[in-house]
Structure 1
Amino acid sequence: MVAFKEKLIAKALTASDEILAPYLGKVDKYDAEFIRIKLTPFSNSIKSTILEHAFNKENHVERNRYILQTTKELSELLPKKVAHMFFAAEHDIELKAKECSEHCRNIKINPEPVRYHFAINNRKKGETIRLESNEGVNAKITPKYTESKRNNSPKCVNGFRYHQTEMNTEFAIENDEALFIYKQLSAYANSFGLVAPKTSEKQNTLTGAIKRLIDNRWWLRRFRKLVTQANEKAAIMFNLVNSKRQIYASTITTKNRISQRLRNDELLSSHFIINDAGQRYSLKEISDLNVSNPKIRKDELICRARGFEDLAKDLGHEALFITVTCPSKYHRAFAKSGAANPKWQGLMPDEANEYLNNQWKKARAEFKRQSIEPYGFRVVEPQHDGTPHWHMLFFIKDEKLDSLKRIIRHYALEIDGDEKGAAENRCDFKKIDPNEGSATGYILKYIIKNIDGEGLDEDLFGNDSVLVAQRIDAWASCWCIRQFQQIGGASVSVWRELRRIRTMFSGQENTLIEQVRHAADNSDWKAYTQLMGGITTPSKNRPIKLHYDVNVNTVTGECLQSYYDGELIMKIKGLLFNSKTYITRLFTWKLEKIST
């Protein structure tokens, strides 16, 4: 493994030299060293772009100033303390996460050195710092306050204020200590541009927040996201992501996502679960049997879309296909030429998707006020430069159709709706005639394109559909964008739970729960939706709901608790119908790792 990594490093250095060498030969040794230092942290594609622009400047002063300014702007995409991690390998990110978690763990174990520096830095003018008793230099450090201040000042612990007399308990002292540690660890996390876990009575406890901050997995997830998005932002800034260069997502982000998937597969294949009946499966086998499998995920989405369409035909509802795009200030490049868009304001895909979400929230609120109840699906996909746009397949009552279109158009054009081309391109409606084609067929290609690309030829720009699907997957992962969402209808979680039951409910042949189970088992989304109360019934009024219960260790009899906060873990155990519980998960499973 070490030898393999050394080969990769050597290959990267050679490739970097090939990029830099033609340019370094044109400058003196001082400028060459300056260029090498400034460009080292960045990918070869970004190095090439910077050098190409820099060496087109009039003189060496303008050239060096451009390199300095550009690399400074790129470095600011990451917080100062991790600016050196641009395009860092997974191994380097893991090492940094481990280093930070160990630092936090040391503060948790022994906070006194930090407490001393905190007291020194926050002391008031004329105030002295003393050690409690004569325990030596490692004793607890406390500021020397006056007796009246010490007795009368209230303290705040985990959001609650206590008087001094109430703090003189072992419990209060422990919470005071924990609060100090939490504040120090939070400040440390903030110094890396990370948001520390928030505490509250209902969710994260103070102890749970500290546990997160001393766990390298917490740091690793956030550093991965930070570095991945910084890499992608850099590629977008240099207009590398467009129809003419690296479509949908940058090549380096796509490669990293493929590598991540391979690591995940390797991890799943090396871990097994075994139940109390002796059945043993690898996590990879289990993963291939649920919606983590692209084929199953795709088939389920198509099945549900087809079910909605069949239901709409029976109810006499209209089908409408809608496409909504962002204002031009969110678009980095033009689609036909790939040239930079002068109206772009530096906004990134996650900000563009947040804009679309906000406009959709406004539209939904107006739907509710006017009793408009569409149902169907929403698909989010990237345009050529990574800017998201939404496709929606909705079914709606005929008399509500015009109102729905008017509301969606209003909010789609609410911001910058007067810019050139907005009325024609930002919001598009297609009323689907069932005599000319299937409504599901309209959304089918978007579902396939955004999952695995199997069965499609090429995209709009002539790219292979399978490679396109890989890039779209990398894009969605990088920006944390939810690609598919069901609008209206019954719960898909109950549907999946019912499909776990392969045999008829004993003695309940004609009951509702058996009819619903039969519909789910036969992939009949239309019948399932009707039996579950139709399209508009609120979830709380549906006849069948999920049943949750505590997870119990069958060996010790203990209730399992969450790792961080120590709360009881509630897991799906079955279904609830007519106040009766139907257990669908009969076995208790434990995880084991394959021996190496």
Structure 2
Amino acid sequence: MSWNNLDWHDDGTQQTDAEWLADNCPPEFRRRQCNLELDGADYQRARLMAEMPAGTVELTELTEELRRWIGHDETTGRDLEDLAKRGADCAGRLLTWLDPEEAADMLREALPWLRLPQPSCRGITAEGLGMRMVESTTWRRYLRREHEQRREVAAMVRGEVMAGRDAYCSQRAYRDHTARQRSSRRAIEDAEIVSEDGEILDLAAAVDASVSNSHNRLAELAVRGKGMELIAEAHGHSAAFVTVTAPGAFHASHRVAHKRSRGRQAYTQEINPAWIAAGRPSPAVASSYLCGVFADVRTVAKNAGLHVYGIRTAEPHADGCPHWHMLIFGDRATLKQYLALFEQYACLVDAHELEGTVRVKRLVERRQADGTYRAVERWQTAPRRELRFFAKWLRPAKLDADGKRRGGPLAYLLKYLTKNLHGENDQGRAFGDDHEAGGDTATAASRVRAWASLWHIRQFQQFGDAPVGVWRELRRLRGKAIDDDGLALAVEAACANDWAGYHHLHQAAQLVLFKEPAEQPNRYGEPQADRVVGVFSWSTEAKALTRTKVWKINWRAKSRRSGAAATERAARPRICTNNCADHPPEQSPETASPSSTAGFGDARSAPSRRSAYLNPDFSDDAGPPPWADPAESRRYA
């Protein structure tokens, strides 16, 4: 690093950066000196430290401290708070002599898990980046995330997360997630949302009415799946169900056959040596791998003109490694090419482990006497490639005598949607047992949600179809008068849960979200993202506003209101003490016996210990309370 305003020595030589830093750096920003013997390697280290900017020593010590505490079971929340404050102070030291981008690069190099944003990305400025780095809340958020994930990987190494033990996530991770959910729910139930014109709504009611409610989310996903199924039937498209799994090196445990019992193969779960050799990749790394494979397939398919659409779900194996289930629709010939392309990319990594055959348990459809099909489990011999990528063609739904739809792609997908959201039937009860998790489906679904929250994995995603954001905005226009016919028909289809109708109207009217620039910058002085205020039709250039009010969350509104009411109801006492130790009313202090007035006569000369616990806020007198004066005590006798 070079400075433009360096001083010069008397002999005409220019000062080094370290010399100028030592002469001009204020004491509060000056780095701490290393107590080293300046010979050999220590001399080189001290010289290197002297040429580095202020805060380098603190960053080195912070890195060692984080290595000592992050990911260990004995680390508490208070420890994370202290480490977050130290990190913010260290960033402040670095910003004393470096610009925010250089300081951020230095922090990213020392702490790769610190996900600081890049300037010029989504409106982030260099000044805003510097303000984020010196905030302890930013450090606390990333520290807690890294600590919990490292602790979970340590539990996976110990063999705690696998079939037969704790499925999907460790018991501690599940307990922490449940506690956070309860705490968040209490905060939501205690809060209100207030509009600009003073309208007040319950925040909990608003959250329960949104897709944050797992039952509403399942209903919306089912509506979207049924709409895609109807679109496929209208266009003569086929449906395929695909399962994609990560290579074996991403799985923390594997099944090992160890003996035969009565002619059957017996298995046990053990730590996977390939996972250890690969560096113990976390489920988040495995999810990134699957997303990368899917991104490559979509790119190649788009360039080749292969258009498909569908829904994918991400769920964990018992050891926490994610895998995908996908319901894909498309033209039969196009879908065959797409599936072949997908299988090629899914089996590129570690192709040597896909040779040969393996015995697997699969659902096989058996034709019944009434002409319907029933799925039963059967052991089959299948190529090992099917462990990585498996595709199955699905039959379309049939109409029974009552006109109801039976079977079909949606019915096949609904099982995977339900067991990953809440695992309950319409009566709020678990609809079965999850043998992999070792409990009912409701408990297994809660563990899956904890797993997705821990590793920040998106569970559901729609691709190749109309956007759901416009659909949700159209549903907000229920019961409102709309002049444009195209928008009115789209609102009618969305409110009637007709995804197929909305799909065609979205294409015909070219519907998009209508946005407006945000008026106020964020707390870092940066422009906020454009605010969604309605729906716009490019075909008719008509718009419909859905968000005409600006709401603000008032946290702890109910508890503050109840606390104020309790304070108003509380009666103020007449005196600052109780009457338990007062002398009898028939005796005055002058005529009372010494034993009855003990502690009162010498109150002025020697204050009693009890006076130290009295609250002075109860008395308007600046001096001692009235009972301390024997002459004044007659007023209270």
Return the offset for 1:521.
0.6
Return the offset for 1:181.
5.8
Contact persistence 1:386–1:475 (CA under 8 A): yes
Contact persistence 1:504–1:514 (CA under 8 A): no
Return the offset for 1:190.
5.4
Distance 1:491 1:392 in 2: 18
**Corresponding letter in the other structure for 1:576:** F
Residue 312 of structure 2: aligned partner: 378
**Corresponding letter in the other structure for 1:338:** Q
Distance 2:224 2:77 in 1: 38
Return the offset for 1:507.
4.4
Residue 80 of structure 1: aligned partner: 64
Q: After the TM superposition, which residues 76-155 of structure 1 pair with which residues of structure 2 at under 5 Å, given as runs?
A: 80-82=64-66, 83-85=68-70, 86-87=72-73, 88-101=75-88, 104=91, 111=96, 115=97
Return the offset for 1:200.
2.9
Note closer, same or farther for the CA distance 1:187–1:270 as it changes in structure 2 (3 Å cut).
Answer: farther
**Corresponding letter in the other structure for 1:81:** E
Contact persistence 2:308–2:335 (CA under 8 A): no
Residue 498 of structure 2: aligned partner: 524
Note closer, same or farther for the CA distance 1:269–1:215 as it changes in structure 2 (3 Å cut).
Answer: farther
Return the offset for 1:99.
4.4
Residue 433 of structure 2: aligned partner: 458
Note closer, same or farther for the CA distance 1:200–1:369 as it changes in structure 2 (3 Å cut).
Answer: closer
Contact persistence 2:162–2:319 (CA under 8 A): yes
Deviates more, 1:498-507 or 1:248-257: 498-507
Q: Indicate whether 1:341 and 2:325 are aligned.
A: no
Return the offset for 1:185.
6.5
Distance 1:592 1:452 in 2: 29
Q: Indicate whether 1:405 and 2:339 are aligned.
A: yes
Note closer, same or farther for the CA distance 1:236–1:308 as it changes in structure 2 (3 Å cut).
Answer: same
Residue 490 of structure 1: aligned partner: 466
Return the offset for 1:199.
2.0
**Corresponding letter in the other structure for 1:293:** N
Superposed CA offset, 1:281-334 (max 9, x none): 233222112111111111111110111111111111101000011221211212
Residue 551 of structure 2: aligned partner: 589
Residue 517 of structure 2: aligned partner: 550
Superposed CA offset, 1:256-275 (max 9, x none): 11122122222223332111
Q: Indicate whether 1:414 and 2:357 are aligned.
A: no
**Corresponding letter in the other structure for 1:364:** R
* TM-score when normalising by structure 1: 0.69
Residue 3 of structure 1: aligned partner: none
Distance 2:312 2:324 in 1: 7
Residue 9 of structure 1: aligned partner: none
Contact persistence 1:81–1:192 (CA under 8 A): no
Note closer, same or farther for the CA distance 1:585–1:418 as it changes in structure 2 (3 Å cut).
Answer: same
Identity %: 29
Distance 1:188 1:530 in 2: 50
Deviates more, 1:195-204 or 1:285-294: 195-204
Contact persistence 1:241–1:385 (CA under 8 A): yes
Return the offset for 1:484.
0.6
Superposed CA offset, 1:209-259 (max 9, x none): 011112222112101111011011101122221001111111111111112
Distance 2:412 2:349 in 1: 28
5+ residue gaps, structure 1: 1-77, 116-178, 535-541, 552-558
Q: Secondary structure at the match of 1:378?
A: strand
Q: Secondary structure at the match of 1:409?
A: helix
Deviates more, 1:342-351 or 1:309-318: 342-351
Return the offset for 1:504.
4.5
**Corresponding letter in the other structure for 1:403:** Q
Q: Specify which of 515, 535, 551 is matched with residue 489 of structure 2.
A: 515
Q: Secondary structure at the match of 2:224?
A: helix
Return the offset for 1:562.
1.7
Distance 1:497 1:202 in 2: 24
**Corresponding letter in the other structure for 2:410:** T
Residue 126 of structure 2: aligned partner: 206
Q: Secondary structure at the match of 1:339?
A: strand
Residue 448 of structure 1: aligned partner: 418
Contact persistence 1:199–1:209 (CA under 8 A): yes
Deviates more, 1:87-96 or 1:561-570: 87-96
Distance 1:367 1:321 in 2: 18
5+ residue gaps, structure 2: 1-61, 256-266, 358-383, 399-405, 426-430, 564-637
Q: Specify which of 185, 189, 192 is matched with residue 269 of structure 1.
A: 189
Distance 2:103 2:471 in 1: 46
Note closer, same or farther for the CA distance 1:522–1:330 as it changes in structure 2 (3 Å cut).
Answer: same
Note closer, same or farther for the CA distance 1:196–1:503 as it changes in structure 2 (3 Å cut).
Answer: closer
Contact persistence 1:561–1:568 (CA under 8 A): yes
**Corresponding letter in the other structure for 1:228:** E
Higher helix fraction (1 or 2)? 1
Q: Specify which of 291, 295, 307 is matched with residue 215 of structure 2.
A: 295
Distance 2:63 2:220 in 1: 42
* TM-score when normalising by structure 2: 0.64
Q: Secondary structure at the match of 2:325?
A: strand
Deviates more, 1:181-190 or 1:447-456: 181-190
Note closer, same or farther for the CA distance 1:568–1:423 as it changes in structure 2 (3 Å cut).
Answer: closer
Deviates more, 1:448-457 or 1:229-238: 448-457
**Corresponding letter in the other structure for 2:346:** A
Contact persistence 1:550–1:560 (CA under 8 A): no
Distance 1:560 1:517 in 2: 31
**Corresponding letter in the other structure for 2:76:** A
Higher strand fraction (1 or 2)? 2
Distance 2:188 2:464 in 1: 34
The root-mean-square deviation of aligned C-alpha atoms, in Å, is 2.4
**Corresponding letter in the other structure for 1:96:** L
Distance 1:280 1:467 in 2: 36
Superposed CA offset, 1:395-415 (max 9, x none): 111222321221111111112
Contact persistence 1:382–1:389 (CA under 8 A): yes
Contact persistence 1:304–1:525 (CA under 8 A): yes
Note closer, same or farther for the CA distance 1:404–1:98 as it changes in structure 2 (3 Å cut).
Answer: same
Contact persistence 1:376–1:393 (CA under 8 A): yes
Distance 1:188 1:429 in 2: 45
Q: Indicate whether 1:180 and 2:99 are aligned.
A: yes
Distance 1:495 1:92 in 2: 45
**Corresponding letter in the other structure for 1:547:** F
